[in-house]
Chains A and B, each alone.
Chain A
């Protein structure tokens, strides 16, 4: 997704004088051509993430549509108050496109992991949060965000599903219909979720827009009283949204995701998925356990 993002961002700034990009060293190589071609509105502020958000806000105040880009810990956690105030409280729009996701670069350790990113961004009002599961979906979401003035968090990941879906930003995509339960698979965990549930009679909804949560489609597609959330970031990040959406319907929620513990392992994202039981085997075991409580 990352390389596709650079190419699309370059295309957007080439084609629209309103578009701007602000980076803090991360992505400098990927954006090199754009930095040279548009030095006035493709800006590398150096390793200054608070300034990165401030500059984006100032550009928005002068009529630009800024894209901000860095690793998730440095795009979200480091400058969190700037996201809240410079953009949010000032009511300015920007696209914050992160890479690294929860632990794509696990070899760098905890400092470069941010499984809290979606939960943190969800705590701020007025943000659209996109969690694409395929480079083509990420591309479509970036282009859709570019023509608005909204505040958009675009979570890019090295993890990807094999095929893109015909998603609509803002809507859950109905991947499969069944009777016994409703499984909501977010972003790049769709493939593992489909493998985990291949022989189960369940509805699978594919979530690429985490916020605002698509309560209408969940309501309309509900199967059984069990909803299982499968999210590649902090466990239960969307549990409150599901509970609010189904406040008028008796239901149970089982949340599968990255546990909220201090991570001290390196290695690869595949190893982390296995350790957190976010591979197909682990997801299946937990869905079966939740289903067994249905009986």
Chain B
């Protein structure tokens, strides 16, 4: 079931991000994901902070581990981590590093930071859930620059080939790839048999529609376009 804590909502997220100091370099990276993360955790994901080991839960993977301030803010708003912990961000003993660690925070599904790992793991989780006939789904967030890593394309091609329709890849596009994707990110996924949608990454209704679009028999890619990193 989707968890909602009425006392903390979207309007609180910027304040929760501001509690996390020390990684200002990745502030644009964090902000680029904010609305996608909120819509996923508020409207889409079937997860419960009190049942983080539910085998049939949806899985969210922050493959692009950079700038997790928005991720931690949403997790705090939704009751997965204490708000007070946000102030410890990046400290030696903190559970909240500049890249997330699943072994330190229940509810974080994978440890990430080095780019190009999450989607491959996500394919494995989706295969595992399918083998178990679970209703759980996998949502994996990557960045447009992260897609430069070749490992992603191993995952994109294979997931399309085997029709992993319990897998959704969310590509947050803030145009930070050095050489860009001239034909468009969605086309790369579509070539491998994915269903695709390209939406305004700040438009919550558009994101929700994209995440809930029918994609039977095919994995689904949602390209969430946000303002350029600059």
Contact = CB atoms under 8 A, between A and B. Distances in A.
Interface of A: 20, 22, 40-41, 43, 45-46, 48, 50-51, 53-64, 81-82, 85-86, 89-91
Interface stretch (B121-129, B182-190, B202-210): B121-129
Contact of B127 (A50, A59, A90, A91): A59
A50 B129 CA distance: 20
How many B residues are at the interface, by size bracket?
20 to 34
A101 B122 CA distance: 30
A22, A45, A54, most chain B CB atoms within 10 A: A54
Nearest to A90: B111
A86 B154 contact: no
B218 interface: no
Contacts, number: 100
A90 B132 contact: no
A14 to B, nearest CB: 15
Given A85-B111, A90-B111, A91-B103, A54 B117 contact: yes
A246 B68 CA distance: 45
Contacts of B124: 22, 54-62
B110 A90 contact: yes
Contacts of B121: 54-55, 57-58, 61, 86, 90
Contacts of A51: 120, 123, 151, 154-155, 158
A55, A59, A60, A91, most chain B CB atoms within 10 A: A55
B222 to A, nearest CB: 20
Contact of B114 (A20, A46, A60, A85): A85
A45 B124 CA distance: 10
A12 to B, nearest CB: 16
Contacts of B120: 50-51, 53-55, 57-58, 82, 86
B130 interface: yes
Contacts of A81: 114, 117
A57 B120 CA distance: 9
B121, B126, B128, most chain A CB atoms within 10 A: B121
B117 A58 contact: no
Given A45-B158, A63-B55, A90-B111, A85 B129 contact: no
Interface in B67-120: 101-103, 109-111, 114, 116-117, 119-120
B1 interface: no
B11 interface: no
Nearest to A64: B128
B169 to A, nearest CB: 13
Interface of B: 55, 59, 101-103, 109-111, 114, 116-117, 119-132, 134, 150-151, 154-155, 157-158, 161
B94 to A, nearest CB: 17
13 contacts: A20-B128, A43-B127, A46-B157, A50-B150, A54-B121, A55-B120, A55-B123, A57-B120, A58-B124, A61-B128, A62-B128, A82-B120, A90-B103
Given A48-B154, A48-B158, A51-B151, A61 B109 contact: yes
Contacts of A20: 128, 131
Nearest to A44: B158
B123 A82 contact: no
Nearest to B125: A58
B102, B124, B155, B158, most chain A CB atoms within 10 A: B124
Contacts of B123: 51, 54-55, 58
A42 to B, nearest CB: 10
B151 A55 contact: no
A277 B65 CA distance: 48
Contacts of A53: 120
Contacts of A57: 120-121, 124
A85 B102 CA distance: 12
A149 to B, nearest CB: 14
Nearest to A56: B124
A97 B128 CA distance: 20
A32 B161 CA distance: 19
B199 to A, nearest CB: 26
Given A45-B158, A53-B120, A85-B117, A63 B151 contact: no
Shortest Cβ-Cβ A-B pairs, 4 listed: A58-B124, A54-B120, A62-B128, A40-B131
Contacts of B103: 90-91
Contacts of B117: 54, 81-82, 85-86
A48 B123 CA distance: 13
Contacts of A22: 124
A91 B130 CA distance: 23
A41 B81 CA distance: 34
